[in-house]
Amino acid sequence: MNIPTFLIDMLNEQYGPEITNQILHSYKEKRVVSFRVNTLKTSTNKILNELSKIGIEYETVAWYEDAIIVKNTNEKFIQTLDIYKKGEIYLQSLSSMLPVIILNPKQNADILDMCSAPGGKTTQIAALSDNKSHITACELNHIRTERLKYNIEKQGATSIYIMQKDARYIDDFFSFDQILLDAPCSGSGTLNDNDSKIKDVFTLKLVKKSTVSQLALLKKAINILKPGGEMIYSTCSILACENEDILNKAMINTNTEIVPIDLEFKKYLPLLPVKISGTICVSPTEYFEGFFIAKIRKNKE
């Protein structure tokens, strides 16, 4: 097994041996290939017809009509298709589609995507709001910013202002109706036990470094969220130290509350136990990456 011992210990302490064994088994599974139909350029029916024409088997997703799972091919082949090159689809894991769906972006709202590159969730916000929201996409790294610009243009997403800045230091002068904070994390929900380099990359130092930036980002998000506004905090980690513990630290002495995620499609998700009621943590499986999501509302004074 390539999974670091310290992670197994953390999982055992948090979830117990039975759930930990299920997680460790999921780390060995190969995940499905999925993409999101870009409704700014095309429709799901048109894409399904195109897949049928070229002999690609697919599976629709009950909880999101714009998500498609492809069965008999891989990402490299999908990237050769015209529907990909034209920006009519965007390769994206099922779990990473969830935060924007739960955010429920509103038309005409001022929306901040705090850690936006490479742009999958940014362009999903644009699609779900039909290009009628005002999006600020924040990204510090220059190379990743260029990739973000490329994807925004390719997807036909408009009304997006790119702010090349560390989101932890956004001026408190700004304020937003809705915020997506898909925070940098250890990636403990996305590990593949077949990767022999895991122990070199996934370290306790990485986990601790992630928690520091997560806390600072969430505190900033709460500061610049308008009273009455809502935000999403999400990570692709299944460790409480990066999820519930960060919420507890950042939300103390703030006029905020957890908005329970009580959507109909929760019944389709493989959920792990959580320490804060109303939040969700998706378990890694063949279909899903491990993903934590919390919705926060800033109350009016």
In contact, 72 and 57? CB cutoff 8 Å: yes
User: Which parts of the chain are beta strand (E)?
Assistant: 33-37, 58-60, 67-70, 89-91, 110-113, 134-138, 160-163, 176-182, 225-235, 256-259, 271-272, 280-282, 291-298
Angular region, 119: left φ>0, alpha ψ -120 to 50, beta rest? left
pLDDT digit string (tens) for 87-106? Answer: 999 999 999 999 999 999 99
Give the domain-ending residue among 73, 91, 109. 91
Question: How many domains does the chain contain in total?
Answer: 2
Distance CA 208, CA 185 (A): 9
pLDDT tens digits for 111-127?
999 999 999 999 999 99
| Tens of pLDDT, residues 159-173 | 899 999 999 999 999
Residue 172 inside a domain? The answer is yes
pLDDT, tens digit (0-9, with 9 covering 90-100), for 179-190: 999 999 999 999
Does 134 reside within a domain? Answer: yes
Residue 164 domain-assigned? yes
Asked whether residue 109 is domain-assigned, the answer is yes
User: Could you tell me if 70 and 181 lie in one domain?
Assistant: no
Same domain, 149 and 267: yes
State which of 46, 76, 91 marks the end of a domain.
Answer: 91
Residue 104 and residue 41 share a domain? no
Is the model's pLDDT at 155 over the cut of 80?
yes
Domain co-membership, 216 together with 150: yes
The pLDDT-based confidence of 300 (bands split at 50, 70, 90) is confident
What pLDDT does residue 4 have? 94
Would residue 250 count as lying in a domain? yes
- Do both 193 and 141 map to the same domain? yes
Is 197 part of any domain? yes
- pLDDT number for residue 197: 85
Average pLDDT along the chain? 96
Task: Confirm whether pTM is higher than 0.85.
Answer: yes
**pLDDT of residue 289 exceeding 90:** yes
Known catalytic residue at 236 = yes
Kindly state whether residue 290 falls inside one of the protein's structural domains.
yes
- Give the pLDDT score at 218: 98
pLDDT tens for residues 17-67? 999 999 999 999 999 999 999 999 999 999 999 999 999 999 999 999 999
Among residues 67, 91, 115, the one where a domain terminates is: 91
- Tell me: do 79 and 219 sit in the same domain: no
List the CATH number of the domain containing 38: 3.30.70.1170
Q: Kindly state the average pLDDT of the residues 73-78.
A: 95
**Whether 86 and 210 share a structural domain:** no
**Do 144 and 277 share a domain, yes or no?**
yes
Label residue 263 by pLDDT band (50, 70, 90): confident
pLDDT above 80 (res 301): no
Q: Name the active-site residue from 115, 236, 241, 281.
A: 236
pLDDT band at 262 (very low <50, low <70, confident <90, very high): confident
Specify the CATH number for the domain of residue 258.
Answer: 3.40.50.150
| Residue 180 within any structural domain of the chain | yes
Looking at the structure, do residues 86 and 107 belong to the same domain, yes or no? no
Domain shared by 73 and 136, yes or no = no
Using CB atoms within 10 Å of the CB of residue 194, give its burial: 0 to 12 exposed, 13 to 18 middle, 19+ buried.
exposed
* Together in a domain, 259 and 185: yes
Q: Over the stretch 200-248, which tens digit does the pLDDT of each residue have?
A: 899 999 999 999 999 999 999 999 999 999 999 999 999 999 999 999 9
Residue 284 lies in domain: 95-298
Task: Check whether 252 has a pLDDT greater than 80.
Answer: yes
Distance CA 105, CA 124 (A): 9
The region of weakest confidence among 3-12, 195-204, 267-276, 288-297 is 195-204
3-class secondary structure, 252: coil
pLDDT at 195 over 90: no
Residues 104 and 237 in one domain: yes
